[in-house]
Amino acid sequence: IFIAFCINMAGAPLKDSELWGLPKWIIDIFLVTGFAMIMLTAMIGQLSTQVDASHCMLDYINSYFAVFTFYTAMAIEFSGLMHVSYFIQMVVGYAAGKPIESNEPPKTGIQLAFFWLRVVVSAASLCFCLAVTLEALFNGQTTMWEGVPNAVAVILFFLLMSVVGLLEGMQIAFFAVAKLEKSERGSAPFAMRTCELLFRGSGHNL
């Protein structure tokens, strides 16, 4: 996410920029909104590499950069910056009547206290970021298109954030459900239809 943000900032145009004599509305759509950089990042930096890595798994992790990336991810995990996600996971699990089960032994003592300390710090960081973002949206201090009411911008923010969450969750769910037998996929109608489409033929849709 941070890298994608930096890429988008690196390709952001200057004010009143012109390109190849293109109309202003095209400049606004592709450059001002960052759509061009999003497409470039997704098609070259994400989707193509994911497709290749799905067939050449060991080749993609057979490098020092893979080891460095893993250690970086572990460092971020240890810092607890994203630990509020675990709390949200617990809340959703209990709300759904499916408490989270773990293969790890229950946390006790200092380990438990350290875990919840990181959850609190992470939650505080999340609240601060959310407050800053909402303040900017309500004050019209974002790159939202001119003429869009601030209230609509806030609604779009939460709507698009929900879509991103669904897409990220679906990506994990697709690979997880691939390990289940057909009889274990439940009877939910939309889940069954999705699995039927996903594993149609030789499962190349996955």
What is the Cβ-side half-sphere exposure of residue 206, based on CA atoms within 13 angstroms? Answer: 17
**Structural domain for 47, as ranges:** 1-62
Residue-level pLDDT at 123: 93
In a domain, 203, yes or no: yes
Residue-level pLDDT at 127: 92
In a domain, 102, yes or no: no
Q: Which of 39, 40, 8 is nearest to 143 (CA)?
A: 8
In a domain, 26, yes or no: yes
pLDDT digits (tens, 9 = 90+) for 131-190: 998 888 888 877 777 777 888 888 888 898 888 888 888 878 887 787 777 777 777 888
Please enumerate, as own/partner, the contacts of 18-21 that have beta carbons within 8 Å and a separation of 24 or more: none
In a domain, 88, yes or no: no
Q: At 53, list the tokens.
A: 């890595």
Q: What angle do CA 34, 124, 137 make, to 5 degrees?
A: 35
Contacts of residue 145, defined as CB under 8 A and 6 or more positions apart, other chains included, come to 28, 33
Identify the domain boundary among 11, 39, 62: 62
Residue 121 and residue 79: Cα distance in Å, rounded?
Answer: 10
Between 194 and 56, residue with greater pLDDT:
194
In a domain, 29, yes or no: yes
In a domain, 129, yes or no: no
Identify the domain boundary among 25, 46, 62: 62
Identify the domain boundary among 38, 62, 86: 62
Give 204's pLDDT tier (boundaries 50, 70, 90).
low
Please enumerate, as own/partner, the contacts of 45-50 that have beta carbons within 8 Å and a separation of 24 or more: 45/4, 45/7
In a domain, 150, yes or no: no
In a domain, 72, yes or no: no
Q: How many domains does the chain have?
A: 2
